[in-house]
Amino acid sequence: MRYPPADREPVTDLLHGQRVPDPYRWLEDPGGHRTRAWLAAQDELWRAHAGGLTSRAWFRERCAALADTGDVEAPVWRGDRRFHTRRAPGREHPVLHTALGAGPERALLDPGTLDPTGLTTLDAWHPDPTGRLLAYQTSTGGTEEAELRVLDVATGAVVDGPIDRCRYSPVAWLPDGAGFYYVRATGPDGARRVHLHRFGAPADADPVVFTAGDDPAVGYGLGISHDGRWLAVSASPGTAPRNDVWLADLAYGDPAVPRFRPVLRGRDARAVPLVGHDGRMLVVTDLDAPRVRLCVADPADPARWTELLPEDPAAVLADVALLDGPEPGRPVLLVARLRDAAGELAVHDAATGERLADVPLPGRGTVGALSTRPGGGHEAWFTYTDVATPPTVWRYDARTGETTPWAAPPGHLTVPPVRTRQAVAVSADGTPVRMTVIDRPGDHGPRPTILYGYGGFGMPLVPSYAADALAWVEAGGVLAIAHLRGGGEDGLHSHRAGTLDRKQDVFDDFLAAARALVDDGWTTPDRLAVWGESNGGLLVGAAVTQRPDLFAAAVCVAPLLDMVRYERSGMGAAWREEYGTVTDPAQFACLYGYSPYHRVRPGTDYPAVLFATFGGDTRVDPLHARKTCAAMQWATAGTRPVLLRHEERVGHGARSAARGLDLAADLLAFAAAHTGLRAGPAPAGGPPGPVAERTAPGQRFSG
């Protein structure tokens, strides 16, 4: 394959006595004429290759059909009014609907109406306590740089805003709907602060009510009790697994000058407080409990806690809902946990913490956030999903103990049969690595396989419905999901075991999973693809540069790859708690040691690699993929292609349904072509099976 020319320049940094070459630094400039010309040539090369991927059309058709269920979310209640999003089959974006009680629902906010181009997304929405007003945030082109507006729910008219620099801001409404607390980047260098906005007032005059300093990496959380009396504010340094939390009593004094008292401060832990209808403050925390426990306190003395639900040694506490209406007979807690990477629900006595009952679920899947009526009651709503079940809303009734379907996705389809099994690999230091392996019932022997992983930021990989994953399995492929250190499947200890100087352990876990898939007969190296996105793209980059012989193909989506300079672009400065900083000599040595861009070696037979980047990505700058793609194209000694798929006006995760289908089809077809899986029309008597397909010698999966 003839790759576009890319100058290797003699650029070298001297960091802590180490010479660090960076021959493709010129590709960091997206507007430079050389970068634009190089990107155009890469796009032409990708399109030529994509045109020969014979399974591309089939994958798009199957992904479209399997994704045509639509979407529905659990309701959010304010008074007698409910709000929830629903995406009808064939629609580009979810639409926010509202209804009074059990009455008919109506569309309230439709991104397709706001912007017929499909480039505007509804990023967040927050109704006021009465359900009369709605604060909502939208962004365009995938940038996630949101503007906040206020809408009159009865008329649909915008009555306040826009307020800019409100990227994914939490919103805490005052009880009378006269204003709200929110987070806006108004400090030096974009540092965020908590402001109070009075309805109709100019945003630039909104007073700052809380700040934890001028570090732009600090993120804030907000919460307010149903009666509007207690305001909670949390501050966390970037993505660090710790925060400081304060509580203010708004019953006294000016809401613009709240008097905060510490709930948790200066501890290597996290806490989320909630003042319930019974006047107690519930505190969900991993302080002295890496799998999380529940404590209670008097909000007037918020730093003095009493344990109510101790840590479960084998499950991570994920969510708690208080059902304290008069109907149940006694207040209870509905508690969601994650056990062995699958969700469970249990009922506990709200006063003693005693476990009273388990709540039956449809299967081994994932339980979404618990939703209740703010005024109290016996009901809770949540979504449930697994690998073969689109997210469906269920209702739990504390009076009867029954769980019943409340809302199903609006589309109808037949899901292909799948088989899910558990496997275990052993990492380099002896740590067991769990895998979830999904394939087609009745298939046996080595087959084209995709190994997927993430391993970072405490994010667990849990069972969920994904059209692209089902399409791969339906075509006869195997999908293996590795549960790695750095993720959140086993709580805080598991997360921290894969951060900073322990990041290599995550890569070792992933490589061990790949070797186990081969050793256990699931696949062979010439039929194994590795796939990751964002932090998972770093995982893929590390795996391919450390063990290129182990894989036939790699799909690397929106990846971090230059770990020496990752802090300088996108949201990298907020991720120092996860990866470290090059300003520290020891952390620099770790970062440079595994940085995929710097580990590319000439004369190596690399797998077929497809980098996918997005021009609107404000989290991970596409420069990472550009530089590493150029380096790998220069270095590879094999004939398998190294390609770049770039898309403008799309962000890190926000994209229209049509663009998402195009991306999934391209990535799946690439993986299929280079692992020997051919997907096409079903042969008589059964679904399509693995057939040899090779090119000239030579992808959050969305779920």
pLDDT score of 364: 92
pLDDT score of 689: 36
pLDDT tens, position by position, 20-61: 999 999 999 999 999 999 999 999 999 999 999 999 999 999
CB 107 within 8 Å of CB 96 = yes
The share of the chain scoring above pLDDT 90, in percent, equals 82
User: Per-residue confidence at 696, pLDDT binned at 50, 70, 90?
Assistant: very low
Rg (CA), the chain: 25
425 vs 687, higher pLDDT:
425
Within 8 A by CB and 6+ apart from 84, the residues are: 72, 73, 74, 75, 76, 96, 97, 393, 407
Whether residue 649 has pLDDT greater than 90: no
User: Per-residue confidence at 89, pLDDT binned at 50, 70, 90?
Assistant: confident
Alpha-carbon distances, residue 40 vs 7, 30, 431, 663 (angstroms): 16, 12, 45, 18
pLDDT tens, position by position, 520-579: 999 999 999 999 999 999 999 999 999 999 999 999 999 999 999 999 999 999 999 999
Q: 207: which DSSP letter?
A: P
323-362 burial string, b = 16+ CB within 10 Å, else e? bbbeebeebbbbbbbbbebbbbbbbbebeebeeeeebebe
pLDDT score of 328: 53
- The residue written with tokens 């909670």 in the block is 232
User: Per-residue confidence at 312, pLDDT binned at 50, 70, 90?
Assistant: very high
Within 8 A by CB and 6+ apart from 278, the residues are: 322, 324, 331, 350
Whether residue 695 has pLDDT greater than 60: no
Whether residue 316 has pLDDT greater than 70: yes
Copy the structure tokens of residue 58.
């089939």
CB 455 within 8 Å of CB 485 = yes
Instruction: For residue 124, count other CB atoms closer than 10 A to its CB.
Output: 17
pLDDT tens, position by position, 111-125: 989 988 888 999 999
Q: CA 291, CA 313: separation in Å to the nearest integer?
A: 7
Q: CA 24, CA 20: separation in Å to the nearest integer?
A: 12
pLDDT score of 35: 98
Q: CA 664, CA 461: separation in Å to the nearest integer?
A: 19
pLDDT score of 654: 60
Report how far apart the first and last C-alpha atoms of the chain are (Å, whole number).
33
pLDDT tens, position by position, 122-151: 999 999 999 999 999 999 988 888 999 999
pLDDT score of 694: 25
User: Per-residue confidence at 699, pLDDT binned at 50, 70, 90?
Assistant: very low
pLDDT tens, position by position, 194-239: 999 998 899 999 999 999 999 988 999 999 998 899 999 999 998 8
Name the strands in the sheet holding 147-152, side by side, starting at the edge strand that comes first in the sequence: 120-127, 133-140, 147-152, 158-163
667-691 burial string, b = 16+ CB within 10 Å, else e? bbbbbbbbbbbbbeeeeeeeebbbb
Q: CA 482, CA 539: separation in Å to the nearest integer?
A: 11
User: Per-residue confidence at 693, pLDDT binned at 50, 70, 90?
Assistant: very low
CA neighbor of 185 nearest in space, from 177, 194, 196, 176: 194
CB 482 within 8 Å of CB 453 = yes
Average pLDDT over the chain, rounded to whole? Answer: 92
pLDDT score of 326: 58
User: Per-residue confidence at 362, pLDDT binned at 50, 70, 90?
Assistant: very high
pLDDT score of 90: 80
Whether residue 482 has pLDDT greater than 90: yes
Within 8 A by CB and 6+ apart from 468, the residues are: 59, 63, 664, 667, 668, 701, 702, 703
pLDDT score of 3: 97
Whether residue 697 has pLDDT greater than 80: no
Phi, psi of 577 (to 5 degrees): -70, -25
Whether residue 656 has pLDDT greater than 70: no
Measured N-to-C along each axis, helices 585-594 and 503-519 cross at an angle, to the nearest 10 degrees, of 30
User: In angstroms, how far is CA 177 from the centroid of its own chain?
Assistant: 31
Alpha-carbon distances, residue 667 vs 56, 223, 494 (angstroms): 9, 40, 30
Copy the structure tokens of residue 510.
């992933």
Report the alpha-carbon angle 71-402-382, nearest 5: 30
Strand pairing report for 120-127 and 528-533: unpaired
Copy the structure tokens of residue 294.
């529940």
